[in-house]
Each structure stands twice: as structure tokens, then as C-alpha cells.
Amino acid sequence: KKSGTVPLSKAIALGMQSGSISLYSLSHGTVIKTLENAHTTSVSDFVMTKDGSRGYSVAEDNFIVEWDIEEAKEIFKWKADAKNIRKLKLSHDETKLATAGHIITLWDLSKHTVIKKFTGHASMVKELAFSSQDDLLVSIAEDDRYINVWDAQLNNNNTNNVSALTVENNVSHIDFSTTEPAVLAVTEEGLVGIWENPSLVAPQTTNHKRKMMRSMTKEPDSNIKIVSTTEENKNIPILAAQFVTDKGGKSIMTARGSSIKPSFEVIKYVEDTGAVMRQVELFRQPVTNFLIDSASIAANNLRTTKKTYDESSVTVLGNSDFAIKAPTMQENHETEQTIEQKLMSLDVADTTEQKHKKNKKKTIVTPAAGSLQTVLVQALHSDDKSLLEACLQFTKRDVIETTIRRLPTAYLIPLLQDLITRFQEKPSRAAALLVWIQSILLIHTAYLMTVPNLVAKLSNFYQALDTRLGVFPKLLALRGRLDVVQSQVSVKAYSNINDQELERAQVPENIYVEEDSDYAVEEDEEDEEVDLSEPEYMDEDDLTESEDEL
């Protein structure tokens, strides 16, 4: 498609959930254009014109946008007339656009008006196709085995289905021939049905009358299936089919087998006389999902292991080459163990000191990730709960990630289920168990996406997480209330302490009373006066001693 300075190349359009559209170049391996700022929700479908200059998109917001791809700009935007538009189909002359959800609407692109509306599917329409002359439109729906054919001409107002094509199983793909009015359909069982002219139906009779439909149903004119040559009565599913223009337009290109390694083949559905073959049954070798066929693998192994025989490199041995040396007494003596060695082997000669030294040398070594992986495999293989619990005691993230990376994929689901069970039984261990669970989900994401019924197996874990997330806001609110209560208690306790300290500060350590102090001073003065006014009396002994001294 055209894109500025990038040369013409094939590109695919990628509708994003953000509402933008990225054009990815297959030859350059990069995004060459981005169409944005028109849709606000996920893009449902996108179609381009043949020259790649314009494009049309529809999103879950029910808006249809016409784009100038070269300038990456919006040309026109209008509202769809119905909800849940899932599919778009542009006519070959690029004048009409069909949109489909439950209802199919045909638009005139020159005026952006509705031409016709078709109703006839009970489920969502999943594919549309115009005829080469744009006069017919065919549609298929989900879980539906009917293919409705509509009149897409502009010169009438016919909104009823022209005919209804039917197959035995639900239809997965349809295609219109570009050279003739022929339609093919691929069923979910991998069979192909072809109708030469879907608009022509057999005359209506009482045996073929359908009371609920005005048109007649029509079975395929030709049925094509591919049968396996290795297993009896087993069909090889046809994944997709398309009309090709070679061989007079009477051939289809089919893709069969595996979606990883499909096999393409052109199948002719008409005879040399021009008559359509009613049944086309082909026998083919089934294709496996491996990139290399099993036959090629076996042949390669045989080729690498097979060696041609060459006599020139053969060595013939004679009798002298087998001479055996006779044993001697010295050799027998050297190989015989001494009494000390025998006692050491029996652990008899060990003294208490030697045993103490040996016990000292025995140190506990933390097992590496390799040994932990081996023990974990043994625990899961033997369903040993105690051994598994010992392995789950490790909490170092690097050791856990290395162990999970080396763990065989066959043990991932059992380990994950055991972890989820422990996570539900003991919520207090969530922090330690989530490290193991997170490592499994991150490292082995690619493998887990291929496990069938994984959603059902992880539903209990999802419910546990959802329950915890639901309780989390309540816990936050409770924690907030507790913080407020604790802060109030702390403030109250602090205020009580301050009041007690204030009371203690207001109590005086010493009390001074003025009257008592004046009274004490007066008493002291009176005592001094008494001492001065009253003479001291001496007894006779004291007088005698004083006279003797004189």
C-alpha cells in the first residue's frame, strides 16, 4: 500500500484497543503508518481500496471513518445506523460499503446514506462477500450453517434473501469467484462446498417448501474433502479455500493440515467435459504441527547414524594381543588393606577428638538452585507434601526464579495448584507464596497459554485475589479509624501528663510564714538580754579553786 516516502509494499492493518490503526509493512517489518484521533474505543474491522489510497474503519463506538491513508488523515466520519458493527466489506467498484452486526446495512459511499438493510441471521455476522458484478452479497454468521444470499442491486428495494445455501456443519469461511457467479464455503469440520450459481434455486414444490423462509435452501453442487492415508476414515481439515483464475476458473486453492505448517494445493472440481463433480475425495499424507515432518526426522537420523563398512580400517587381533599378565605376590600384598585401614573403614579407630574434628567439618551447605529443582521434582513426582513444604521455605527471589526456570513444564500445573491451595488455606503466607506464583506466571507464560482449561484451573486463585481486593478498601478504612483513635488516645495521655506536671510545678517546695519568723527572732533577743542581765552564780568549790590560783 502507499505510505509517503515508503515505496509500494504489501501491508496489513492492525486495529488497536486504543482506537488507532497501525499499517504494518510485511517487506519492511515495521509500522509505516498510524491512523489515529478518530475512534475512542477498540477497532472492530478495517478495509482498504485496491490502490491503498483510502480505507474504512469501524469501532465499538459505532462510528464509521473514511481515511486518507497516504496523508494518515480522516476524510469523513459518520454514525452507523445499528449497534455492535463487527464486519465491513467494500464492493469491487468501491461505491458501496456493507456493514454487519446482527443487521446488514448497505451504504452509498458517495452520499454516505443507507441503500438497503438485510435481516436474517440470529447471531452476529462474521463474514461478507460481494459477487464479481456487485449484484449479490453473501453473509455467514456465528454458529450458523446457513449462507444467506442478498440482492445488492440499486435499482430495486428487495431486502429479502434471494436464496439460502446450506451445509451440514457451521460455516467458517466463504469466497465469491471473480470470474463467474460461484460461491464456496469452508465448514468447521474442514469440508468445502461449492455452488455454481447461488441465486438460482429449484422450483418450489410441496416437498421442499419452507414455511419460515420465502426462499429455497440449496445444497452444494460439489463437495470436496481430503482423507488421511495413514488413518482410515479420518479427514484432514481444510483450513481455508479460495477461487483461482487458472484452469478456466474451475479450480480452488486450499490450505490444509496445520496452521503452523499449512500445505497448499490447487484442486479442480470440474471434469474435462465441463460438468461439475459431485464428490471430490483426495487422499493425502497428514501434516503434523512440527516444522519438520516425522519422516524427514527419521530419514535424517538414519542418514547421520548409518556408516558404510570399510575393511581397510579393520584391525585383526591375534593370540599375542590377549596376553594376560600373571599376578605377583607383591601386587596382592599392595592391594590388601591393613588392619588400621580396616578399622578406619569400620569407624572403630576414631577417638573422641577425631570424631569432634569430623563433626566440626560437617557444615550445613545451602542447596543451590539445581539441587532445589531436583528435590522439588521429587516432591511433586511422589506427591510428598512435607518435602514440598521444605522446598517452599526458600524465599530468595533469584534462587526461586532459577529453580522455576529449570523446572520441567510437566510439573508446573501441579506446583501451581499446590501453591494456590496453600495460598487459600493460610493467608498469612501470601507474601512468601506469591514469589513462587509470580515466578511461574512470568517465566512460563508461553507454556501456560497453551494449557487447556487454564482459566478453570486458576479460577479459585482469581476468586481469592478478588476477595482480598474487595476487603482491602475496608481494611484501609478500618486502619484509618484505628489511627484516629490511637492519635486521640495519645493526645489525651499527653495532656494528662502535662496536667500532672503542671500541678507538681504549682506545689511549693518550701513554705515561708512571716509571723512565725518574727516570733522566733523576738525569742532569740529576749534570751540574749537575760544572759546579759543575770550574773552567773558560782558554788564554793569553784571559789576555792579560784582563790588557790590567785
Q: How many CB atoms lie under 10 A from the CB of residue 171? A: 24
Residue 451, amino acid:
V
- Check residue 169 and report its DSSP letter: S
> And the C-alpha cell for 52?
491503498
- Model pLDDT, residue 160: 84
Spell out the per-residue pLDDT of the chain, length 550, in tens.
Answer: 333 444 456 888 999 888 899 998 888 888 888 998 888 889 999 999 988 889 999 998 888 999 998 888 999 998 888 888 889 999 998 899 999 988 999 999 888 899 999 988 888 999 999 988 888 999 999 988 899 999 888 888 888 888 889 998 899 999 998 888 889 999 998 899 999 888 775 444 444 444 444 446 888 889 999 888 887 778 888 999 998 876 555 888 999 877 777 889 998 888 878 788 899 888 888 776 555 555 555 555 555 555 555 555 556 555 555 455 555 555 455 566 777 777 676 654 455 555 555 554 444 444 455 578 888 888 888 888 888 888 888 888 888 888 888 888 888 888 888 888 888 788 778 888 888 888 888 888 888 888 877 777 777 777 777 777 777 777 788 888 888 888 888 877 777 776 667 667 666 666 666 655 555 555 555 555 545 444 544 555 554 555 555 4
CB 221, CB 171: distance < 8 Å? no
Task: Report the alpha-carbon distance of residue 269 to residue 431 in Å, rounded.
Answer: 65
- Model pLDDT, residue 128: 92
DSSP-assigned letters across all residues of 360-422: HH--PPPP-HHHHHHHHHHHHHHT-HHHHHHHTT---HHHHHHHHHHS-GGGHHHHHHHHHHH
Side by side, the strands of the sheet bearing 238-244 are 238-244, 251-257, 262-268
Q: How many CB atoms lie under 10 A from the CB of residue 257? A: 21
Q: Which residues pair with 348 in a beta bridge?
A: none
- Model pLDDT, residue 65: 92
Contacts of 93 (CB under 8 A, 6+ apart): 134
- Model pLDDT, residue 174: 92
Question: Which one, of 461, 456, 425, lies nearest residue 440 by Cα?
Answer: 461
Contacts of 257 (CB under 8 A, 6+ apart): 236, 237, 239, 263, 286, 287
Residue with grid cell 506536671, as numbered in its chain = 501
User: What is the SS3 assignment for 434?
Assistant: helix
Dihedral sign from CA coordinates of 338, 344, 347, 348: positive
Question: Strand 73-79 relative to strand 87-90: parallel, antiparallel, unpaired?
Answer: unpaired
> And the C-alpha cell for 356?
569432634
Global pTM reads 0.51
Q: Please write down the HEC assignment for all residues of 522-549.
A: HHHHHHHHHHHHCCCCCCHHHHHHHHHH
- Model pLDDT, residue 284: 86
